[in-house]
Amino acid sequence: MPALIDELTGLPNRDAWEMLLGREEARCARYGSTAAVLALELDAEPAGDGLVRRAAIALSSVLRPSDVIARLGHSTFAVMLVECDRATAVGVAHRMERELATARAPASVGVASRGRGVPLQAAAAAADAAMHVRRRERHASAEA
């Protein structure tokens, strides 16, 4: 069985994320629950270990115990907000961006929600796409 914890941050890793996403999708489908997914990428390239650790701590400080944060890649994270609608998820994303900036670990955040005909796996892909759009917007405004 593969390891499910990222050694640097102590957060669930990509394998754990996929497993947890599947479990939450099954729960949402069964009970009609809401959920949202956030995708984050740190702005610093390359992101050093200290930056990644600061980001993990900052992100964790914003979440409820029922939410899940995972480190998917070197400078990328994903968050699953259970029992959360889109408007609330957008508010959480803004708080995360502020907390990350305070921790000197700025990041771009994308948000998507599970909904009718949109399973969590599709929401995760949509959040990732939204994060890339947000990243381009942030970099364009920084250059202006």
Residue 99 is part of a domain; what is its CATH number?
3.30.70.270
Arithmetic mean of pLDDT over the chain: 92
**Domain membership flag for residue 18:** yes
Query: Is residue 6 assigned to a domain?
Result: no
User: How far is Cα 119 from Cα 37, in angstroms, rounded to an integer?
Assistant: 11
Report yes or no: 74 and 83 within 8 Å, Cβ to Cβ: no
- Does residue 73 fall inside a structural domain? yes
pLDDT the model gives residue 144: 67
Integer CA distances (angstroms), 80 to 113, 116, 141, in order? 10, 17, 28
Whether 24 contacts 80, CB under 8 Å: yes
Per-residue pLDDT of 51-90, as tens digits, reads 999 999 999 999 999 999 999 999 999 999 999 999 999 9
Q: 69 is in which domain, residue-wise?
A: 14-143
Structural domain contains residue 113: yes
pLDDT band at 116 (very low <50, low <70, confident <90, very high): confident
